[in-house]
Amino acid sequence: MPSVEEVKVHVAASVDQTERAVAAMRAVTDQLDEALARLRLTAIGSVHPSVFDAISRLEQARMRLEEAQTLALGATDAANSYRAIV
């Protein structure tokens, strides 16, 4: 069975790894924002349903990525709370 200090070290490592993943998700969010802006600009005046579908799907991907970030940050908060009481 791991010692209390070992548990704290492993929880801290997990928190650190999760925070790096969230930072990577933020970078992906920025890329999706750029792609959306470019597609919207390109699609001005277009009424083709495929363009609207592409924009809609990119917006959904962005929203789900934001949800993933929120969940991951909540997980780090909970893990840090656990680490504080161990």
pLDDT of amino acid 76: 98
Low-confidence stretches of the chain (pLDDT < 50) are none
Q: Which of 38, 82, 39, 31 is nearest to 61 (CA)?
A: 31
Q: pTM value?
A: 0.86
Question: What are the sequence ranges of the domains in the chain?
Answer: 4-81
Q: Which stretches does DSSP call E strand in the chain?
A: none
Q: For residue 43, what is the DSSP state?
A: T
pLDDT of amino acid 5: 95
- Residue 8, judged by CB atoms within 10 A of its CB (0-12, 13-18, 19+), counts as middle
